[in-house]
Amino acid sequence: MKKISLFLIITAGVPLGCSPDYLDVKPSKSLVVPSQLQHFQALLDAAGVAMNQGPGIQALATDEFYHPDDNLKNLPFVPRNAYLWADDIFEGTGVADWEFPYKAIFNANIALDGLRKISPDAQTEELYQHIYGSALFYRAVSHFHLAQVFAAPYEPATAAVLPGIPIRLSMDVNQIVGRGSLKQTYDQIIADLTESEPMLPPQVTYINRPSGAAVKALLARVYLSMGDYEKAGLMASAALQIHDHLLDYNTLNPSAARPFPAPFSKANPEIIYHYGLTPYSPLVSSPLTGVDSVLYQSYQSNDLRKTCFFVSRPSGVYGFKGSYGGGASLYGGLVTDELYLIRAESYARSKKTDLALADLNTLLRSRFKKGSFETLKATDETILDLVLMERRKELFARGLRWSDLRRLNMEPAHQVTLMRIVNGKPLKLAPGDNRYVFPIPDNEIKLSGIEQNPR
């Protein structure tokens, strides 16, 4: 245990400082690399040191939150630049949104490289398979969420020519990895998840660990981002066959500062896989930070999401308090409500209106005050817009709005131009703008020489 603790301290400590030159620091040759199954499991369980955490900066760039001028000038420069869609967001600094996922990928590759050197016996075979499948999942989930921020949105016609993200498949940090194509990025993500699924149990006791349900739920999210709505619906349905629990919001205290239970309390039955977003506390904690007022007004008075998600602040704005993380940080985990909405969208796009409505009604019955919910109705022409609106309302501040804007902006009927008023001047982010792809951190460009994203 001393050896594995030393290993975890050394490897985990590198990205946490987020220094500009951390990538130039190579691990020592004397680094203790784990060699036993329990060591690999401990490495992957390090949820507090880069595992189970992904980019959150994209949430600052959407239309979910707004900052008045008085608040904006007090924000640290990275979240401020992200909010303003600046050309140079990171200003040469290290970026947790990039570093933490690649740290998780590094840990996953340590486990995979090490496991390949082990020949399990009959007693350890099951544990070996679980750990191996988990490492594949961690690598896939990190690559995927990096692609949502640092690579272009997926479009089949251009995916083979647009650059993806560096796909790291080895623990060798001296290996320079290019960006490859966007198609290669998604192909690898899907391949890792497909390989991992039969190795994992359908459900797990500890939600920081992946499961078969989590694999299917993540694949549903991946296919949705790719615009493959049929496969997204199939994967969502497969995940719901394993885990379809919903949290009854009538059991919550809407007046509480944090109405939702902590994820590891097991009091929220919706959570399939725990995944936090890089914390940008000014985004949600400032009394001046507001939420989209038009969206806020779209919730009915008997919709418990209105009081569980939002709070009226002394500044006169409505703020957000409803993180599924149970605290101030935003949450991006795999959760049952998202699956119902993915499947509903898949049905809606196939004109299976009755099935789409059934999923929406199942979800919303648990969101309204008891006895007050009125069953939704729609036609083939209106069902998709209804689903997309409920997706916005249900998945507020989950880090998914950015991906939704990117994919929906490819459809003329659903394009949105984002607007800000800053110091009396309008700022716009038009559909298809290059700024829908964040710049790759300068230190990574300097180290690897990979292509920078145009701004």
Query: Can you give the pLDDT at residue 380?
Result: 98
Query: Can you give the pLDDT at residue 24?
Result: 39
Q: Which of 15-19, 103-107, 159-163, 382-386 has the lowest mean pLDDT?
A: 15-19
- Provide the number of structural domains found in the chain: 1
Query: Residue 385 above 60 pLDDT?
Result: yes
CA-to-CA distance for 239 and 242, rounded, in angstroms?
5
Query: Residue 411 above 70 pLDDT?
Result: yes
Instruction: Report strand pairing: 276-277 vs 53-54.
Output: parallel
Report the pLDDT averaged over residues 28-51: 79
Q: Has residue 111 been placed in a domain?
A: yes
pLDDT interval class at 297 (50, 70, 90): very high
pLDDT interval class at 226 (50, 70, 90): very high
Query: Residue 341 above 60 pLDDT?
Result: yes
Query: Can you give the pLDDT at residue 175?
Result: 84
Q: Has residue 387 been placed in a domain?
A: no
Q: Has residue 409 been placed in a domain?
A: no
- Tokens matching residue 185: 């990025």
Query: Can you give the pLDDT at residue 34?
Result: 75
Residue with tokens 């904006």: 72
CA-to-CA distance for 35 and 39, rounded, in angstroms?
7
pLDDT interval class at 85 (50, 70, 90): very high
Q: Which of 203-212, 250-259, 321-330 has the lowest mean pLDDT?
A: 321-330
Query: Can you give the pLDDT at residue 282?
Result: 62
Query: Residue 22 above 80 pLDDT?
Result: no
CA-to-CA distance for 21 and 277, rounded, in angstroms?
23
- Tokens matching residue 167: 């796909």
Query: Can you give the pLDDT at residue 174?
Result: 79
Q: Has residue 149 been placed in a domain?
A: yes
Q: Has residue 399 been placed in a domain?
A: no
Query: Residue 353 above 90 pLDDT?
Result: yes
96-115 and 37-44 are packed helices; what angle lies between their axes, rounded to 10 degrees?
Answer: 170
Query: Can you give the pLDDT at residue 7?
Result: 45
Query: Can you give the pLDDT at residue 9?
Result: 37
Query: Can you give the pLDDT at residue 5?
Result: 42
Range of the structural domain that residue 154 is part of: 2-242+418-448
More confident call, 43 vs 175:
43
Residue with tokens 């007090």: 74
- 134-149 confidence digits (pLDDT tens): 999 999 999 999 999 9
Query: Residue 31 above 70 pLDDT?
Result: no
Q: Has residue 278 been placed in a domain?
A: no
Query: Residue 18 above 90 pLDDT?
Result: no
Average pLDDT, rounded, for the chain: 91
CA-to-CA distance for 439 and 445, rounded, in angstroms?
10
Query: Can you give the pLDDT at residue 25?
Result: 41
Query: Can you give the pLDDT at residue 53?
Result: 93
Distance of CA 231 to the CA centre of its chain: 19
Query: Residue 188 above 90 pLDDT?
Result: yes
pLDDT interval class at 176 (50, 70, 90): confident
Kindly report the backbone phi and psi dihedral angles of residue 409, in degrees, each rounded to the nearest multiple of 5, phi listed first.
Answer: -70, -10
Q: Could you tell me the CATH number of the domain that includes residue 176?
A: 1.25.40.390
Closest CA to 247 of 332, 336, 334: 336
Query: Residue 33 above 70 pLDDT?
Result: no
Q: Has residue 158 been placed in a domain?
A: yes
DSSP-assigned beta bridge partners for residue 276: 53, 331
Q: pTM of the predicted model, to two decimals?
A: 0.92
Query: Can you give the pLDDT at residue 279?
Result: 83
pLDDT interval class at 32 (50, 70, 90): low
Report the pLDDT averaged over residues 289-297: 93
**Percent over 70 (pLDDT), the chain:** 92
Query: Residue 314 above 60 pLDDT?
Result: yes
CA-to-CA distance for 454 and 280, rounded, in angstroms?
25
Query: Residue 6 above 50 pLDDT?
Result: no
Q: Which of 70-84, 202-216, 295-309 has the lowest mean pLDDT?
A: 70-84
Query: Can you give the pLDDT at residue 26?
Result: 43
Q: Has residue 299 been placed in a domain?
A: no
Report the pLDDT averaged over residues 415-420: 97
Q: Which of 282-291, 313-322, 349-358 has the lowest mean pLDDT?
A: 282-291
3-class SS of residue 199: helix
- List CB contacts of 90: < 8 A, sequence separation 6 or more: 78, 81, 439, 441, 442
Residue 29's Cβ-side half-sphere holds a number of Cα atoms within 13 Å equal to 0
